[in-house]
């Protein structure tokens, strides 16, 4: 049986960040559109590596209804094979596009596990830190987030998948450690979003279990973000390449919304927004 998440003492009683309040104010989840300025991301590596295509794609995400644009300059593909890059290389990839993306007028999150990169992005106008290692990889990350008073997405991750573990307990323990790090650094708990890290350090079965039992993590009392878009677990129920997984992505995200997800991270923004709005409209008729 999985352990029940323990509540940690809140060191900062600050109200929720205005940006998060706005994103969480409606009846269906906010949608975070994905912009990878990388040559090797699992789904769209190289498509938006050059500044022109990257900015045009960001414009398209806004036009399709994205509430946030999540910009990443290093592939963190969950199945290995990505080439690690230095923080200076991440910054080099971000410099030509980030300020132009910020000028589009919707919040930008920076998808990086490196505090130096996040600091650069925040200086350029990004508004949210998105750490795929949940404040547990770069020791400077929590201090940076606390000093800048920005929302932070804390994602569960593992170096390797282990089919033998209780993944729900592992995730709960990971989040408890992350929240302890955040509290000690002085991050207001109200500014933290939890991400189960679908596909990261998990077997396909464990990713599906995490989605099926997503409401377990509501015990932490924090907003939940889910990014199941185009992930490989979808292909285990019907072989499909990443760009052919739209149906599975939407199914996973609708289930996540039913289980309490407040933010959905997606590649296919227009279709995801339509599905979430329709589901909410139908639910309103009950």
The span from the CA of 155 to the CA of 147, in Å, is 20
Is 13 domain-assigned? no
- Catalytically active residues are 231, 265
Residue 227 has what pLDDT? 98
Q: Tell me the three state secondary structure of residue 264.
A: strand
Beta strands in the chain (DSSP E): 30-36, 68-72, 108-111, 128-131, 152-155, 192-195, 225-226, 263-266
Q: Is residue 208 packed enough to be buried (19+ CB in 10 Å), middle (13-18) or exposed (0-12)?
A: buried
Contacts of 271 (CB under 8 A, 6+ apart): 246, 250
What is the domain range of residue 212? 18-284
Is 62 domain-assigned? yes
Query: In tens digits, what is the pLDDT along the chain, a chain of 286 residues?
Result: 344 444 444 444 578 999 999 999 999 999 999 999 987 544 544 565 688 999 999 999 999 999 999 999 997 755 455 567 899 999 999 999 999 999 999 999 999 999 999 999 999 999 999 999 999 999 999 999 999 999 999 999 999 999 999 999 999 999 999 999 999 999 999 999 999 999 999 999 999 999 999 999 999 999 999 999 999 999 999 999 999 999 999 999 999 999 999 999 999 999 999 999 999 999 999 8
Structure tokens at 83: 């080439």
Is 10 domain-assigned? no
Residue 81 has what pLDDT? 54
CATH of the domain at 236: 3.20.20.20
The span from the CA of 248 to the CA of 79, in Å, is 18
Is 22 domain-assigned? yes
Is 11 domain-assigned? no
DSSP-derived letter for residue 86 is -
Is 265 domain-assigned? yes
Residue 76 has what pLDDT? 74
Is 8 domain-assigned? no
**What is the count of structural domains for the chain?**
1
- Per the CB < 8 A criterion, the answer to whether 231 and 207 are in contact is yes
- Per the CB < 8 A criterion, the answer to whether 232 and 204 are in contact is yes
Structure tokens at 282: 């139908």
Is 5 domain-assigned? no
């Amino acid at each position: 049986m999985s352990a029940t998440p323990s509540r940690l003492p809140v060191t900062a009683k600050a109200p929720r960040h205005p940006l998060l309040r706005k994103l969480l104010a409606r009846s269906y989840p906010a949608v975070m559109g994905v912009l990878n300025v990388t040559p090797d991301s699992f789904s769209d590596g190289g498509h938006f590596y050059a500044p022109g295509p990257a900015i045009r794609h960001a414009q398209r995400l806004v036009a399709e209804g994205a509430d946030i644009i999540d910009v990443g300059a290093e592939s963190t593909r969950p199945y290995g094979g990505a080439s690690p890059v230095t923080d200076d290389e991440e910054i080099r990839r971000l410099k030509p596009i980030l300020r132009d993306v910020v000028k589009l007028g919707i919040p930008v999150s920076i998808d990086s596990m490196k505090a130096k990169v996040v600091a650069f992005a925040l200086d350029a106008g990004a508004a949210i830190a998105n750490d795929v290692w949940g404040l547990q990889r770069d020791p400077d990350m929590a201090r940076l987030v606390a000093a800048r008073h920005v929302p932070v997405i804390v994602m569960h991750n593992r170096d390797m998948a282990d089919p033998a573990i209780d993944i729900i307990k592992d995730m709960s323990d990971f989040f408890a450690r992350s929240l302890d790090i955040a509290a000690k650094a002085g991050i207001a708990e109200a500014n933290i979003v939890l991400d189960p890290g679908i596909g990261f350090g998990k077997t396909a079965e464990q990713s599906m279990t995490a989605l099926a039992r997503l409401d377990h993590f509501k015990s932490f009392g924090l907003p939940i973000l889910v990014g199941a878009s185009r992930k490989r677990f979808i292909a285990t129920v019907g072989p499909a390449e990443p760009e052919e997984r739209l149906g599975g992505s939407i199914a996973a995200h609708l289930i996540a919304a039913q289980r309490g997800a407040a933010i959905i991270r997606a590649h296919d923004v227009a279709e995801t927004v339509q599905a979430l709005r329709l589901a909410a409209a139908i639910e309103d008729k009950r």
